[in-house]
Amino acid sequence: MIQYPVPIVSGPEDIEKNVAQICRTVANTKAGYPDLDIIVFPEYSTSGLNTKIWSYDEMLLTLDSKEVTQFRNACRENDVWGVFSIMEPNDTPGLAPYNTAIIIDNKGETALHYRKLQPWVPIEPWYPGDLGMPVCEGPKGSKLAVCICHDGMFPELAREAAYKGANIYIRISGYSTQVNDQWILTNQTNAWQNLMYSVSVNLAGYDNVFYYFGEGTVCNFDGNVIQQGQRNPWEIVTAELFPKLVDQARENWALENNIYNLGARGYVGKPGGERENYLTWVKDLAGGEYHVPWEDKIRITDGWKYYPNGGQYGPMPEELKN
Q: Considering 23, 75, 149, 219, which one is annotated as catalytic? A: 149
Distance between CA 79 and CA 139 in Å, rounded? 11
116, 136, 143, 147: the active-site residue: 116
Distance CA 240, CA 144 (A): 15
Nearest residue to 42 (alpha-carbon basis) of 174, 234, 133, 170:
174
Per the CB < 8 A criterion, the answer to whether 198 and 219 are in contact is yes
Alpha helices in 49-134 (DSSP H): 66-77
CB count, 10 Å around CB of 298? 8
Of residues 153, 164, 162, 231, the one with CA closest to residue 192? 162
CA 193 to chain centre: 18
Separation of alpha carbons 19 and 244, rounded Å: 34
Active site annotation includes 149: yes
Residue 236 near residue 2, CB atoms below 8 Å: yes
Q: Is 219 a catalytic residue?
A: no
Q: Is position 297 annotated as part of the catalytic site?
A: no
Catalytic residue among 43, 67, 215, 235: 43
Q: What is the C-alpha separation between 235 and 294, in angstroms, rounded?
A: 43
CB atoms within 10 A of CB 277: 10
Q: Which positions are annotated as active-site residues?
A: 43, 116, 149
